[in-house]
Amino acid sequence: MHKRRLGRTDLLVTQICLGSMTWGQQNTEAEGHAQMDLAFSRGVNFIDTAELYPIPPKAETQGRTEKIIGSWMKAKGNRDKVILASKVVGRTANSWFRGDRPSQLVRADIFDAIDKSLAKLGTDYLDLYQIHWPERDIPWGANPTRVGAVARRADSVGAPVGETPIAETLAVFDDLVKAGKIRHFGLSNESSWGVMRFLAEADKGIGPRVASIQNAYNLVNRTFEVNLAEVCEREGVSLLAYSPLAQGYLTGKYDHGARPQGSRSQLFNRGQRYETPNAAEAQLEYNELARSFGLEPALFANAYVSSRSFVTSNIIGATTIFQLEMALSSVDVVWTEEMQKAVDAVHQRVGNPCP
């Protein structure tokens, strides 16, 4: 399992990061522990979680995932062997995170979030703490292929109202670093403009430099390549790619409209990002392309993501040990020039149907 440097930090993270958002909803504590056991036995050293998890977000389940990771580290006594990342929610009207109020990226809310996460995880620090999504009014994922009119909150001179300034938010993360609660700072679901603004404030000495960005990246969503790839390469910001299998649509199990019993799409009806016009046709074409190379679609899709030079770590997720085994074995796939040319030929025709 290869390791790659996280941004400009001293952390070396494995090319596979173990995602955790199913633990506490689709997966039990014991199943979460089994997944961590298997991943770390294969050389993985990196776990990503969030105060939001498990998915789908609900007041009655929120925080279970961090507790499952915490109980595993306590049982193994291996906190020093784990590079641990979590996230604070962006602006949200849901009051269950803070207990009695909506949440914003302000000092009181960020400190409340980190202290709760550390308690659930049973640790006194995080290696990486990320903003789960921006506070700004922007499309989810921050890299749409089209942008419509956005009803911005603004005062009489056009300044954002109720939007915490980036400098103010970043200063809070600086305090978290100084307090020893976090080692490094990252973003998620962020745009090129957002990354550059955070970097500009850090260059002024306001707070920690952005080490990483966690955005969706997969065969049906390559929007990261348009601007963010250059930003991150030149600025030394690592991409932690999430949803490499497009929420399972690049495994082949949903081909031809199938909805297997117990699958995420069948259970939760949360796959709208991957059910856009022409998405099913594009997904099927990539899945059939994988089979033409003699590979399971899930192997092919994960191997593609890990092969990109601008991807530092591929965040995999699974609900079964079989799925996890396949995701882990994707690092053994040799990504060839022929595969890349074939993928690019499809992308030239279908574009990014699922941004």
| pLDDT score for 158 | 45
Exactly one of 53, 249, 274, 304 is catalytic; which is it? Answer: 53
269 versus 145: the higher-pLDDT residue is 145
Which amino acid does the sequence have at 4?
Answer: R
* Least confident interval from 170-174, 263-267, 278-282: 263-267
| pLDDT score for 114 | 98
Mean pLDDT, all residues of the chain: 93
DSSP 33-96: HHHHHHHHHTT--EEE--TTPSSSP-TTTTTHHHHHHHHHHHHHT-GGG-EEEEEE--SBS--T
The matching CATH number, chosen from 2.40.320.10, 3.20.20.100, 3.30.465.10, 1.20.1740.10, for 3-146+157-246+309-331 is 3.20.20.100
| pLDDT score for 161 | 55
| pLDDT score for 100 | 86
Quote the CA–CA distance of 314 and 284 in Å, as a whole number. 22
In contact, 315 and 321? CB cutoff 8 Å? no
**Residue 38 CA to its chain's centroid (Å):** 21
Reported as a single tens digit per residue, the pLDDT across 51-69 is 999 999 999 999 999 999 9
Range 77-104 average pLDDT: 95
- The full set of domain ranges for the chain reads 3-146+157-246+309-331
* Least confident interval from 106-120, 137-151, 229-243, 275-289: 137-151
Quote the CA–CA distance of 248 and 142 in Å, as a whole number. 21
| pLDDT score for 142 | 81
pTM of the model: 0.94
pLDDT of residue 92 exceeding 60, the answer is: yes
| pLDDT score for 153 | 54
125 in active site: no
* Band (138; pLDDT cuts 50, 70, 90): confident
Reported as a single tens digit per residue, the pLDDT across 222-248 is 999 999 999 999 999 999 999 999 999
**DSSP strand pairing (311-316 vs 126-131):** unpaired
Range 43-49 average pLDDT: 98
Q: And the tokens for 117? A: 């996460």
pLDDT of residue 157 exceeding 70, the answer is: no
pLDDT of residue 89 exceeding 60, the answer is: yes
pLDDT of residue 218 exceeding 90, the answer is: yes
Reported as a single tens digit per residue, the pLDDT across 309-347 is 999 999 999 999 999 999 999 999 999 999 999 999 999
Range 117-146 average pLDDT: 92
Reported as a single tens digit per residue, the pLDDT across 168-207 is 999 999 999 999 999 999 999 999 999 999 999 999 999 9
Helix (H, G, I), strand (E, B) or coil at 170: helix
Tell me what percent of the residues of the chain surpass a pLDDT of 70. 95
* Band (264; pLDDT cuts 50, 70, 90): confident
| pLDDT score for 102 | 92
Strands (E), 100-181: 126-131
| pLDDT score for 156 | 40
* Band (155; pLDDT cuts 50, 70, 90): very low
| pLDDT score for 152 | 59
pLDDT of residue 22 exceeding 70, the answer is: yes
